[in-house]
Structure formats: structure tokens, C-alpha cells
Structure 1
């Protein structure tokens, strides 16, 4: 009996040892050490090629020569704004589902105005100002960064970085280890109590270097002789904006004097991108990203391209110089990743949150249709509605190209809401520069062509959007006659760069049409993890097969 027990014990022990050997011999899912998402704010697709001959080998050219470029990547929602684009890239979804319908919006139920990442519960970390009272709670869907966390049982580290709060918070997702953005008041990167109670020591050390002050200690001059900027208009175009105190939009820009009066001016220079990528390096080392036993994820938004574009417009020397300098910064960053993480061991994608229209003044200079809408549109509309329904200010908001109404008054006075919307549409369609207007609740019966109709539906969240939408004519936008803006369906706003490079990426390019919402599903497929829970995009298989 004792021999039988001993034999059984030996068998059990041998089986356990065999099982251990089998388990230890199993090959884990192959994944990169680090994924880096780089979103260049307001980067139109054509910037990849407009300045191509002046890019150096290690930046944008490296991505195109080593990576895979999706040449026809489009936004498939409206409006084409910053917070919306970042949310769509990382959720693989659309505003109707992920809920970020603009940089801000008015709640259609309560009437309360909200900023996209505003959070009244949280407090600032790293500053005494309120700029840190933020979180991703208004984002209704999970992100690819969240899904990576879940897939690795939260062993992966996820960090978001930008000058802008919304562009660091929304990409990093709900479960991030940290998101950091710049506070102009103390020229430091800060965060929120949503993530932590105190800044990490590496962040404090970075802030202590006082790089913003160093970067703004010299004038902004062109990288190359100014007469070589042949892709741009004259330096003092009348449609370009100026820094406070300047008499003309001309180089050199006296940044020491400008920065002394306006600490936010750093954002509207190429130095903002340099600062962002320097901070990204510090975050990689501070969190030891890419050295984990599982994949880590770093989201980076280069935001200065947006600030410069807004002030000067796409055809300015300032924008050209900003991209030439960003190209050099990217080349330096990629070399750093090669050394720190290892070439071929990290996966990077580069895209944009939106594009930008040509300046109205620029378009008119060359006799191309463009314009700005009537600034008294809401006053005129409310006068028409009051004359018909007897109530004042029935149209409450004009946000994100949507008209929102005073639903409480309409309900209390038992007014005909459908009739109010119908008269609103009729009024708007008569205005100069308005190509279409529609009651979104009755969108199917509107004579709006595709793909615009689908883009409207994709962007409409009934709790966060007004119920009448406005589609301007091409070249028209709501904004200023200085610089430019974005937000519409047209290719200048919605045709984006999308280039993948590094781990398991094929070299090549495709002119097949893909969506911004396809980025997260592509990353999910490559990593063999679940798509975000609101994803409607599909993997772009040409990137990796």
C-alpha cells in the first residue's frame, strides 16, 4: 500500500512538473515594447508633401520611406475639431457614440455649458490655478489605451502628453497612469488628482529646468534664409494675425518681449513642439516605458502646429517654418527611441486631429470663393422666431455648427418644436455662405448629399448637440478674417496624414479610403487585443499584412 501511494505521488509530481514545463515553454503573444501615437494638431495631409523636399531623412521622410502611409485617410464625422478628433482616433468610434461632440458643448437637458474634459470633482496637481481640474469622465467609450490596460491586467503603463489638457487626457483614456499638460501661469507641466496627488519627481525635475523661459529667450527667426520659403506667401500677408505688441506679422518675432507679457505665446511657436517632445523623453525615462514585461503606450500631441496655423493660416512662412522645425524634432525623437527602446521594437503612428481651411483673405486674393458668415445670424433668427411664436430667444446656442433651442420655454409654453426647427432651417438656408441646414432629427428627409449626411449623423449626440445643423459653402467657416480655423466636412479639414512605422509595419502606401476611426482597430489587431467598446472602424490590414 505504501509503495502504491509512493508511486501515485511520483506520478502526480511528474505530471505537475510536465505541466510546468509545458506552461513555461508557451510563447507569449508577440507585441512591441512600446506604442507611440503622435497626433500633429491641424496637420493637413498635403503638408507631408508640400515641404517634402526640405524635410530631412530622419523625420517625416523616414516615416514615409520605412513605414506605411494611408494616403486617403478621412474624418467621417462633424465637426472636425480637436477634442473630437483625438477621441475618435483613440476610441475608433464617432461623436454620436463616444460623446465628445466638440471642445465644449451645452447640455441639451440641463442647459449647462461644459468643457470637454472639465471635472468639478478633481483638483489641480502641480499648480495653484484651476487648469488641472480635468479628467476623461465626459468620454463615454473606452480607448485603445484602456483596452491595452485591460488586456495586460493593468500591467501596461499608459501616459498622455500635450500642451493642451484635452489632447493629453482624452487619448490616454480612463485608466491611464498619467496625463500631463502645460500650465502657462507657471510654465510647468501639470496634471489632475484624477491620476495622482503629487507630481512625480521626474516631472518636478523637468519643470525645474525652466525650458520655456530658455526657449523664449531668443527671437523666432526662420530656420533657413527667408527667401527660400517658396511654398509660402509673402511674410506680411494682410490675412495673417500678429502677437500682441507687433505692428506686422513679420519675422523675426521678438519672443523675449512677447513672452514677458504673454506666457501663452510659447504655444504659438515651434518651440512648443520641441518642449512637448523633450517632455515625452522625460516621461519615457520617468515611467521606464518600453522596458516593461508588457507593451506600454505613450500618446503625444504636438499642438503648436494648431496655434501657429490658427494665427497665420496654412500658406504662411510661419507654418512652413514650424513644420520644418517639427521635422527635425521628430528625427531627433526617433533616434532617441532607436537607442532607448530599440529600432523595430516600437510601433509608432502619426496622424492629425483635423486639418485647416485656407485663410479667407488668401482665397479671395486669388479669386477663389470663400467667406465668413453673418455675425448677426442668431439675432436675426430669434427675431423671426419671436415674430412667429411670441417668445424671446428661442434659439439659445450656436455651437459646433449646431443651433440649440430653449427647450424649457418651448415645453412650458407648449410651442410647436418641429415648426420652430422648420422655420429655423428655412431662415438659415437663405443666408450667404450657408449651403445646407437641416433638422438632424429629420435628417433622412433632408436633401443633403453623401458623405455629408452620414458625417452629420456620426457627429450628432442628442444630449450634447443642438438639433439644427449648418453646413457652410466650401471655403466658408465661422471664425476670423485673420489666420484660419477648421470644423467642416471639406477635404482641407478632413483629409489627414496617417503613417505607421516600426514593429511589424510593412513598407508601402495605399490610396484606399480609410477612416480616422480605423486607427484604433488597426492597433488592436496588431496587438491582438480587444477593440475599444464603441469602435465602429475596421483594421487597415495593408499596414501589417
Structure 2
């Protein structure tokens, strides 16, 4: 595989002069550009978001990590040990957006991955945009960040430099590449699985892929990983931090009876949608690292007069967590291997950009719950929310109190959307209707809290789960009644882990700053995730994103 990557790097260098230009680039011919030589900024900022990484993975697997990956960041960077998401829901799109905008869904408008649009009267996806076309493949690229209503720190860096410098977002997931890169990015690239197996983009950014991306896609690297067998990096008997490999709490791949090592990927890809399999296994993070290195070389990041920004999201940890669960050996192995990816990336940055010329931060878009069915075997409270029965329950409430089920327009994301036209037609008071549902749904098993939209608009909650719910509420986009399940209660299969709540198992994530302008140290002080963007803005001496509600973490900056 190293030979394939070496051949690709040589190939892209030869073809670079024929490469496709992005919307803007470092080589600005604007004679009015102001030199940044008097402002000390890093040549490159690298933002790393690990999808579904709990903070305790840094501690739980510490003795399995090498000295130059996570440990290097923890011990020589600034390790913030008590960072939490301060809103509900803790989903991928919302997490990435909040990290880079410095605010919560109340302001930035990304209220979930998918949500019910009460204006279009249908469910929508956070980055879908049919105004644009796919670049690099037939499908999968009709995307943009237009639903994100505020700027990102990446946008502010471009604005501060008169649109000079390059911003690139990369991830296996489209939303994880697009939203961090912001509205002004030169490009965002994500992996299209199935039978495509390529990194693609959208005409929102570019009209065709640069030659270096085509070279990478044609190099055979993606296919080479699916010719491997995924086995544990170390002897599986040493993986004492996780439960038995064979258990009842993991979802096997199609074509394999048990979720147990080893995994013959060449065989499994046939029944698991081909290149989609690469997303789910640990090699997906190796593949993302390969593409990150190719991006740095292909775009000459960190080589120009202006500061560049590379937003990387590692998605395969999330796919593994959903399928196998927090306590699985597959998740442990994924993080042991991700540690090697982090080491590889740091060494590459030191060589290509220069140690002391870049700043890096590492965090996660959310954490995850331990599998409730597993916790139940340990007599720890937990369970599963029955959405189908809940819909029936809500319709019964509606019939009993209002003699109609038509006033319920949609139930999704733990929110109830009311049909305002029907309520008006029935001459009902919207506040009274809301309160009936708020009071009655508390009688449903596993509903812990409920609140109306009008209460969230009129009351300021200063602590607790209702404060996080309020921070995730958007007056224009969210539903009319919001509810919260009991702790350790999820809407999901009885196998695998998920996330989305405001409880600590979903909110507590790592945050480490490293590199130019960063002190060495650690802190147990509480910080909300929205403090990352203003901190990076302060480091870069630029304006904060225009919806920022976070504050600069001054203790990390030199």
C-alpha cells in the first residue's frame, strides 16, 4: 500500500501544473493584498474531529497507544479534560457545525442530521442542495452548506485574509467535510461508497476534480484496503479493556454469522455494498489519513504567505461504534489504529509544513452511550424508546382532547410538530394545545422531560437538561413540543451504540490543542464545545464567527 501511495504522490507532482483551480487560491494577483508578515500566524491550521469519540477513550486505551500519537498531543499540547456539548441533539452534523461556528443550533440552524422542515412539509438532509451537481461521480454531490446560517472560523480566516489562503474540508461523510469547511471553502471532499469508491465534491466549490484528486482516486488505494483482512493490531487476548469478542450486543456484517475477528473484507464487500464496507472498518481512517496527506501535497498547504486551514473528520470510528458498541474489541482496535494515524499525520506535518509552523486541535463531534442491553445485564438502568408506540400514544391524546389526529403534523427527533392550520380551523388555542401534550406525554414510558416551544421562548433555563435542550432549540426550525427520554434510553437496535442526548455519556469529548501558539498543560475546568472557534480565532487574530456564543479559552494560548 505504501508503494501505491508513493506512486500516487510522484504522479500528482508531474500532473500538478494541469490541476484544476479552486474558487480562490494562495497565488492571488491582487496588488492591494496586505502582507501578513507583521502578524504571527501559523502557516496551517489542522482541525481534527473524531466521530463518536468519548473522552474516556484517551484514558481507557492509554496503555495501548504509542508515544507519538494521542500521548504526544496529551503530554506536550494542552489537554482539556472536561469539555462537553452544551445542547441537544448530539448528532454529527450539529457537532461539526457547533465546533466551527462557536455557537449552538439556536443560532447556526443545523438542528440535526435530518429534520422535518415545517415550511417544505417534508424531511430534509442537512447538506442536500439540488442547485448544485456532483463532481467526480454521477451521484452523491448535490450538496452545499447553505442551511448553516452563520459563518465558521474557516470563513472568518478567509475574510480576514481578503479571501487568500486555502480552506479544504475532507471526510468520509459529506456533512463532516462540508460544514466545517464553511461557505467560502476552496473545496470539500467526501467519499462516495457503493460501487463508486472515490472522493467526490460539488459544483458549489469546483466544476471538476483537481488532477491530484483524480490521481488519488485512480491509484487503487481504496481497493487495496478492501483486499485486506481486518484483524486486531495486537494479540486479541491483550485487549482487556473491552468485553468478549463474541457477545449478544454487536451487529454482524451481512455474510458473517458473528461480529468477531478476523474480518475477510474481500469476501464481505460482496454483500455489504462494496466500498461502503471501507467506511465501517478501521482501515477507513487509514484511507482518510492517506487522503489528508495527499491534500496537503496537492494543494501545497502551509507553503504560502497566507494561513491555510485543513478540516479533517475521521468517520470510521462512528460507523464502528454504531455497529459494534462502545465496549467492543472492534472499537478498541479502531482507536489503537487511529492512534497510529495521528502519529503518521503529525510526522507528515513536521516534514512537509515544519514543526512550529502549524497549529492542530483534536476533538469529537459527540460521544456515545454504552449498549443499553449490555448495561441491563449489569443491572444498570437503561432501555429502549418505542417510537411506534409513542406515535400511537400521541394520537390517542389528540383524539381524546381534540377529537382529531390531524393536528399532529410530524413526530421526529424527539419533537412534535403541530399542524397550525388545523388548530386554527378547529378554533383551538395553540398554547393550550401545546400544554396538553407536554403534560400528557410524561405519562408515556421512558419520557423523562417535556416542554413546549413557547416555554423555551419565554423562559431562560440556566442549568440541567432543559438548558441543553433550550440551546438546541431553534425558534424558526424546531418543533412545538420537545421531549427527552430517560437516561440511558435510546431509540435504536438492541445491538450497537448510538448518541444524541444531553447526558454526559454523549456530551463529554476530548479537546487537545497542539502546535504553534499553544501552551503545554492540562485542565479540568469545564468548557463547552462552542469555545473552540473563538479560541482559534484569538490564536489567528481574526474576527470570531458571526454567531459565536462561546468564549476564548485563554489558558491554552501562549
Report the TM-score, using the length of structure 2 for normalisation. Answer: 0.91
Tell me the secondary structure at the aligned position of residue 269 of structure 2: helix
Structure 1: which 5+ runs fail to align?
A: 1-23
What is the Cα deviation at residue 220 of structure 1?
1.2
- Say if 2:512 is the partner of 1:499: yes
The answer as to whether partners of 2:386 and 2:491 remain within 8 angstroms in 1 is no
Tell me the secondary structure at the aligned position of residue 45 of structure 2: strand
* Map of 1:63 onto structure 2: 73
Call closer, same or farther: CA 1:25–1:419 in 2, change over 3 Å: closer
- Say if 2:496 is the partner of 1:483: yes
Call closer, same or farther: CA 1:430–1:449 in 2, change over 3 Å: farther
* Map of 2:448 onto structure 1: 435
What is the Cα-based RMSD across aligned positions, in Å? 1.8
Tell me the secondary structure at the aligned position of residue 471 of structure 2: helix
- Alpha-carbon separation, structure 2, partners of 1:280 and 1:125: 19
What is the Cα deviation at residue 35 of structure 1?
0.1
Select which of 159, 175, 187 maps to 2:184. Answer: 175
Call closer, same or farther: CA 1:384–1:71 in 2, change over 3 Å: same
Select which of 290, 304, 322 maps to 2:334. Answer: 322
- Say if 2:246 is the partner of 1:233: no
Q: For 1:400-435, what per-residue CA distance to the aligned partner results, in whole angstroms no more than 9, with x for missing partners? A: 221212223223333332222222222221122221
The answer as to whether partners of 1:108 and 1:462 remain within 8 angstroms in 2 is no
Number of residue equivalences: 522
Q: For 1:496-531, what per-residue CA distance to the aligned partner results, in whole angstroms no more than 9, with x for missing partners? A: 100001112111001111110000000000110000
The answer as to whether partners of 1:386 and 1:394 remain within 8 angstroms in 2 is no
Call closer, same or farther: CA 1:449–1:534 in 2, change over 3 Å: closer
Select which of 353, 357, 377 maps to 1:365. Answer: 377
The answer as to whether partners of 2:457 and 2:475 remain within 8 angstroms in 1 is no
The answer as to whether partners of 2:393 and 2:444 remain within 8 angstroms in 1 is no
- Alpha-carbon separation, structure 1, partners of 2:144 and 2:495: 33
Select which of 455, 461, 465 maps to 1:452. Answer: 465
The answer as to whether partners of 1:191 and 1:199 remain within 8 angstroms in 2 is yes
Pairing 1:96-135 to 2, within 5 Å after superposition: 96-129=106-139, 131-135=140-144
- Alpha-carbon separation, structure 2, partners of 1:538 and 1:527: 15
- Say if 2:155 is the partner of 1:140: no
Call closer, same or farther: CA 1:462–1:539 in 2, change over 3 Å: same
* Map of 1:220 onto structure 2: 230
* Map of 1:184 onto structure 2: 193
- Alpha-carbon separation, structure 1, partners of 2:36 and 2:90: 46
Call closer, same or farther: CA 1:315–1:139 in 2, change over 3 Å: same
Tell me the secondary structure at the aligned position of residue 179 of structure 2: helix
- Alpha-carbon separation, structure 1, partners of 2:279 and 2:407: 38
What is the Cα deviation at residue 353 of structure 1?
0.4
- Alpha-carbon separation, structure 1, partners of 2:407 and 2:151: 36
Call closer, same or farther: CA 1:445–1:341 in 2, change over 3 Å: closer
- Alpha-carbon separation, structure 2, partners of 1:430 and 1:449: 26
Call closer, same or farther: CA 1:250–1:27 in 2, change over 3 Å: closer
Pairing 1:39-78 to 2, within 5 Å after superposition: 39-78=49-88
What is the Cα deviation at residue 144 of structure 1?
0.2
What is the Cα deviation at residue 447 of structure 1?
12
Pairing 1:286-435 to 2, within 5 Å after superposition: 286-375=298-387, 376-435=389-448
What is the Cα deviation at residue 313 of structure 1?
0.8
- Alpha-carbon separation, structure 2, partners of 1:305 and 1:324: 11
Call closer, same or farther: CA 1:437–1:240 in 2, change over 3 Å: same
Select which of 259, 263, 266 maps to 2:278. Answer: 266
Structure 2: which 5+ runs fail to align?
A: 1-33
What is the Cα deviation at residue 89 of structure 1?
0.3
* Map of 1:253 onto structure 2: 263
- Alpha-carbon separation, structure 1, partners of 2:164 and 2:460: 51
The answer as to whether partners of 2:431 and 2:454 remain within 8 angstroms in 1 is no
What is the Cα deviation at residue 449 of structure 1?
7.9
The answer as to whether partners of 1:80 and 1:488 remain within 8 angstroms in 2 is yes
* Map of 1:20 onto structure 2: none
What is the Cα deviation at residue 233 of structure 1?
0.4
The answer as to whether partners of 1:79 and 1:488 remain within 8 angstroms in 2 is yes
What is the Cα deviation at residue 260 of structure 1?
2.3
* Map of 1:12 onto structure 2: none
* Map of 2:159 onto structure 1: 150
* Map of 2:105 onto structure 1: 95
What is the Cα deviation at residue 390 of structure 1?
2.2
What is the Cα deviation at residue 387 of structure 1?
2.8
Structure showing greater radius of gyration is: 1
* Map of 1:164 onto structure 2: 173
- Alpha-carbon separation, structure 2, partners of 1:220 and 1:386: 54
